């Protein structure tokens, strides 16, 4: 494993930031200063940052899954329903990053890094999520879009301003950074448009794209770094 990746998996910083840490001469291997982030590191190498030992306990992995309807967004389900964790490789314990309702489809992330899952979902970090909603009722009008953009009064308080665009007469995209229960559905209902189908199409800088329903892919290091930056910038 390369040194920068080793530091990232140890939780020192993102991979890119770890490269900068190495270049400044703060890292040693076997007591010798190393300034090359691409230096290979073995399991027996003694790596230290500012003189303190650093150990990469495990390699951080993040999967993007296009969740089908009928699948529960938890690690396990007492009712025996299929869960998102069962749809991806289970070489180690995985955490769903947030939740989607059982009938909601689309992008959900899974990771073996609990701190990353926390940073991507906790409201204080304000990481954006984008949803595409097919709604009932009359065609969506501009005043209703403006209401959604400005904030909607719900039973648990007014929502924060959202980015909203009309895709067609009965389809809108909404980007929020909050994570209230059934928030998108309740927002749409509040302006007279009950949700018929809901799909998450974006999580921070990551887009669902053409990933087929029920399929997964492992994120690249660059994509994971982009997620970390999104959480750091918002928090």
The alpha carbons of the chain give a radius of gyration, in whole angstroms, of 21
Residue identified by tokens 């940073």 is 119
Has 101 been annotated as catalytic? yes
Both tokens of residue 103?
A: 């009938």
Can you tell me the distance from the alpha carbon of 83 to that of 22, in angstroms, rounded to the nearest whole number?
40
Can you tell me the distance from the alpha carbon of 110 to that of 40, in angstroms, rounded to the nearest whole number?
28
The helix/strand/coil state of 87 is helix
Name the catalytic one among 45, 77, 101, 170. Answer: 101
Can you tell me the distance from the alpha carbon of 119 to that of 101, in angstroms, rounded to the nearest whole number?
20
Q: Do residues 36 and 18 make contact, with C-beta atoms less than 8 angstroms apart?
A: no
Can you tell me the distance from the alpha carbon of 219 to that of 209, in angstroms, rounded to the nearest whole number?
13
Count CB neighbours of 91 within 10 A.
9
Can you tell me the distance from the alpha carbon of 47 to that of 54, in angstroms, rounded to the nearest whole number?
6
Find the helix or strand (DSSP H, E) in which 197 lies.
strand 195-203
- Active-site residue list: 101
């Amino acid at each position: 494993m390369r040194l920068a990746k080793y530091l990232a998996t140890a939780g020192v910083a993102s991979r890119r930031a770890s490269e900068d840490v190495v270049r400044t001469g703060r890292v040693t291997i076997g007591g010798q200063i190393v300034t090359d982030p691409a230096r290979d590191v073995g399991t027996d190498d003694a790596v230290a940052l500012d003189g303190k030992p650093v150990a990469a306990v495990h390699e951080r992995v993040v999967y993007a899954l296009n969740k089908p309807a009928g699948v529960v967004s938890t690690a396990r389900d007492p009712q025996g329903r299929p869960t998102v964790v069962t749809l991806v490789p289970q070489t180690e314990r995985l955490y769903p990053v947030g939740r989607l309702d059982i009938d909601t489809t689309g992008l959900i992330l899974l990771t073996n890094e609990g701190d990353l899952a926390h940073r991507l979902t906790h409201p204080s970090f304000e990481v954006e999520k984008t949803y595409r909603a097919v709604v009932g009722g009359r065609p969506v009008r501009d005043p209703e879009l403006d209401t959604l953009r400005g904030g909607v009064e719900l039973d648990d308080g007014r929502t924060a301003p959202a980015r909203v665009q009309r895709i067609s007469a009965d389809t809108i995209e909404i980007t929020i950074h909050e994570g209230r229960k059934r928030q998108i559905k309740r927002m749409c209902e509040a302006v007279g448009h009950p949700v018929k189908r809901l799909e998450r199409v974006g999580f921070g800088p990551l887009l669902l794209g053409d990933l087929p329903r029920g399929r997964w892919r492992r994120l690249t290091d660059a994509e994971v770094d982009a997620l970390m930056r999104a959480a750091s910038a918002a928090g």
